Amino acid sequence: MDRVRLTITLKKDVIKSVDKSIDGVRIRNRSHAIEYLLTKAIGPQVAKVFILAGGYGIKMRPFTYEMPKPMIPVHGRPILEHIIENLREQGFRDLIVLVGYKGNKIKEYFGDGSKFGVHINYVEEKKPSGTAGPLRINKNLLGKNPFVMYYGDVLAKIDLHELIDYHLENKGLATLSLSSVEDPSAFGSVKLRGARVIGIDEKPKKADYNSRLVNAGIHIIDPKLIDYVPRNGFIMLEKDVFPKLAKEGKIFGYPFEGQWFDVSTPKIYERAVKEWKK
């Protein structure tokens, strides 16, 4: 990013507080610390969040016979409520929620979002279009600035401000949050070279993967990426868009160590209920 050199005068106790945030990894030096703290105080440079909550959740049957997957409860609250709480606590208020299958249950529960400290704008998916198709369909609504894309079945402890900073520094078309798992065969194995994603193997066969890093379902998307999404059909970011952009060196990966559950199967759901910490 372009930067301007400034000279500022601060109290000694303020400088001491600033220096406490320097860890040499996430925050490298005093200048970086001041920029980081100012950014958090001013608010997120990426303000809009697009949540995908429209799938059928076939693998989560019988739960999804009665409700959409994002409404499945964990510790007495829907998965989507945990997501919204995480977003609100990090300063994100402007949410676009894509609904489809049994979407009225999501609308009835969350309303306009005011009871949860956010503003929700719903878009309805009349025909399933994958994880990439909705970007093309809702391009005008998403605007011209980078935005957070959040899958509605993901529980994650992740600092979105760090993810955003990482994205803005690398200037890619997308930055994928990455978690590490024992067996990536059920997910998309992601290979990095430095910060750059150089390969994505969607659901590799066991013992045939070269990375334990997997797509965690939380991305920062630059609107220019939408130009790479085919205009029609059921289009998946993971299969149809990200691998091509990886070959062109246009996407980046952000590994994080916080808790993560992709609540996509009853087995994972059982683990999430036992292990997810509010």
276: how many CB neighbours lie within 10 A of its CB? 18
Q: Is the pLDDT of residue 71 over 90?
A: yes
The pLDDT assigned to 58 comes to 84
The class that CATH gives domain 43-275 is: alpha beta
Pull the structure tokens for residue 185: 């065969």
Cα separation of 216 and 99, whole Å? 20
22: how many CB neighbours lie within 10 A of its CB? 16
Mean pLDDT of the chain: 87
Cα separation of 95 and 83, whole Å? 11
The pLDDT assigned to 48 comes to 92
Cα separation of 129 and 136, whole Å? 10
The full set of domain ranges for the chain reads: 43-275
The pLDDT assigned to 5 comes to 79
Q: Is the pLDDT of residue 40 over 70?
A: no
Q: Is 94 helix (H, G, I), strand (E, B) or coil?
A: strand
In percent, the amount of the chain with pLDDT more than 90 equals 49
pTM value is: 0.83
> Radius of gyration (Cα) for the chain, nearest Å?
19
The pLDDT assigned to 42 comes to 60
The pLDDT assigned to 14 comes to 79
Q: Which amino acid is at 27?
A: I
Question: From residue 55, how far is each of 134, 226, 230, 243, 250 by CA, in Å?
Answer: 12, 20, 20, 22, 28
State pLDDT tens for residues 84-141. Answer: 999 999 989 999 999 988 989 999 999 999 999 999 999 998 888 899 999 999 999 9
The pLDDT assigned to 131 comes to 92
Q: Is 148 helix (H, G, I), strand (E, B) or coil?
A: strand
Q: Is the pLDDT of residue 6 over 90?
A: no
* DSSP type of residue 204: P
